[in-house]
Structure 1
Amino acid sequence: MVTGTDSRRRTRANIIEVATRLLREQGAAAVTTRAVAQAAGMQAPTIYRFFEDKDALLDAVAEHVFSIYTAEKALTEAGDDPVADLRAGWDAHIGFGLANGALFGLLTDPARRSPAAEAGMAVLRARVHRVAAAGRLRVPERRAVELVHAAGTGAVLALLAVPPSERDLGLADAMYEAVAHAILTDAPHLPDGDALTVAFRAVVPELPTLTAGERTLLTEWLDRES
């Protein structure tokens, strides 16, 4: 039995799917309420029953597509090499951005706060944390996350600004190598002092023999050292 709530949910999902297709094929300018309504086989006023305006519809489209991408990233099983997993995440990020140029522009707009984008950042933080715990990180985790995120976003935007036939995809590889050189150590078995401090800092919250106060004090000391 299809209820009114189910019908409304399906109609909203259909509008988002149609708008997503228009965005991918023709860009953000093509996503007008009239165009979406026509492609979805409904009257334009119907759109306004679900979305206040075009910006609200675009927000929903961006959230929908990026939520799927983020969920797939979160379900990817961690491998034995956290550094390789970090690189794989970088490659996936670059690939998603280039395949979804119009959406990427929406997601990187500072004025738009996206729960899906935050979920993606959580995945990145988890990957960086594994690198730190393995003794491969020479900078604090927060700095590493911010550097990877900024470099990845910048690389995609720079490539999107160039016609596809003229893009130098090696730019993204070079950007990753530069960031990796800045944040990673060469070997996990002989970490330098900074990497050892960062690695210890990463596992402090998981030490069961320490009290909460002891973990706090140790964390503060390690923060000063790093």
Structure 2
Amino acid sequence: MQSGAPEETATGEAAGREVTRQRVVEAAIGLLEREGREAVTTRAVAAAAGLQPPAIYRLFGDKEGLLDAVAEHGFHAFLATKHGAPEPEDPVEGLRAGWDLAVEFAVDNPALYALMYGEPSRAASAAFRTGMRMLKERVHRLALGGWLRVDEDLAVQIIHATARGAALTWLSLPEEARNPALLSILRDAMTNAVTDPEPAVRDTGPAGAARALRAALPEQTVLSGAERRLLREWLDRLS
């Protein structure tokens, strides 16, 4: 029993430290949303969390470390909304719904969103990378269905940039100047830039893709005649 006591003590201390970190992060978010980023000082956050200022430095290193933790909390909260949202059967509708979800999170959490996405350095967040991986998976499903108008990497960049730009632009406007049509028009522009009105591949999988490519093959001039014949043979096998 005695040999395990130090381990139990260390575990208890780690758990207590994590609870305190979470309390500080929540206090910082409260100040951020109520009074803006300038109000998030180590002294003010410590007071709101019921701690002395040196505790902030022990837990987060410095103010930037605290802000990084707040941003990470925001990314995790955003991921939770993604996991909780139902996935439409139509992949294009799923793309539009995911874009709307990102913008709605910004509208509901303006100061937190500005902290998360207003600085490129926040992209190092593990939760941010998880969100981008989910976006890439969504885009890959569109590609498999023959919906993409551009390549997958460019599609990911367009989707992310338009949602982020739309949200930050919306938040920068005075409330009386915020026209909901701005967001719907930008979402439609993103959809039109990334996807085709009808899928190029009717059947998912390599066979459907091979048939679609084979149908378009005679119209292209990049390949030589011998290359086209060889590619056609390969596509025939796949389809």
Do Structure 1 and Structure 2 share a fold, with TM-score over 0.5? yes
Letter in 2 for 1:171: L
Correspondence for 2:53:
44
Equivalent residues of 2:37, 2:111 under 8 A apart: yes
Tell me the distance in 2 between the aligned counterparts of 1:54 and 1:165: 34
Q: Deviation at 1:75?
A: 5.0
Correspondence for 1:125:
136
1:139 maps to 2:142: no
Tell me the distance in 2 between the aligned counterparts of 1:22 and 1:200: 53
Larger RCO: 1 or 2 (CA < 8 Å, sep 6+): 1
Number of matched pairs? 196
Correspondence for 1:26:
35
Q: Deviation at 1:115?
A: 1.6
Tell me the distance in 2 between the aligned counterparts of 1:25 and 1:160: 15
Gaps of 5+ in 2: 1-7, 211-230, 232-239
Equivalent residues of 2:32, 2:40 under 8 A apart: yes
Secondary structure of the residue that 1:95 maps to in structure 2?
helix
Q: Deviations over 1:163-208 (max 9, x none)?
A: 22321121111111112112211123xx28xxx99x849xxxxxxx
Correspondence for 1:96:
105
1:54 maps to 2:41: no
Tell me the distance in 1 between the aligned counterparts of 2:156 and 2:43: 41
Equivalent residues of 1:74, 1:123 under 8 A apart: no
Secondary structure of the residue that 2:78 maps to in structure 1?
helix
Q: Deviation at 1:107?
A: 2.0
Correspondence for 2:87:
78
Q: Deviation at 1:162?
A: 0.5
Q: Deviation at 1:87?
A: 0.7
Equivalent residues of 1:107, 1:117 under 8 A apart: no
Normalised by the length of structure 1, the TM-score is: 0.79
Secondary structure of the residue that 2:165 maps to in structure 1?
helix
Q: What is the CA RMSD across the aligned residues, in angstroms? A: 2.3
Could you tell me which of 108, 111, 127 is aligned with 1:116?
A: 127
Letter in 2 for 1:111: S
Equivalent residues of 1:63, 1:116 under 8 A apart: yes
Indicate the larger mover: 71-80 or 156-165. 71-80
Secondary structure of the residue that 2:59 maps to in structure 1?
coil
Correspondence for 1:221:
none
Correspondence for 2:194:
183
Look at both structures and tell me which one has the larger radius of gyration over its CA atoms. 2
Equivalent residues of 1:19, 1:31 under 8 A apart: yes
Tell me the distance in 2 between the aligned counterparts of 1:92 and 1:77: 11
Tell me the distance in 2 between the aligned counterparts of 1:58 and 1:73: 23
Normalised by the length of structure 2, the TM-score is: 0.75
1:173 maps to 2:156: no
Equivalent residues of 1:159, 1:169 under 8 A apart: no
1:68 maps to 2:77: yes
Q: Deviation at 1:90?
A: 0.5
Equivalent residues of 2:74, 2:116 under 8 A apart: no
Q: Deviations over 1:89-129 (max 9, x none)?
A: 01100011122222222222112322221111111111111
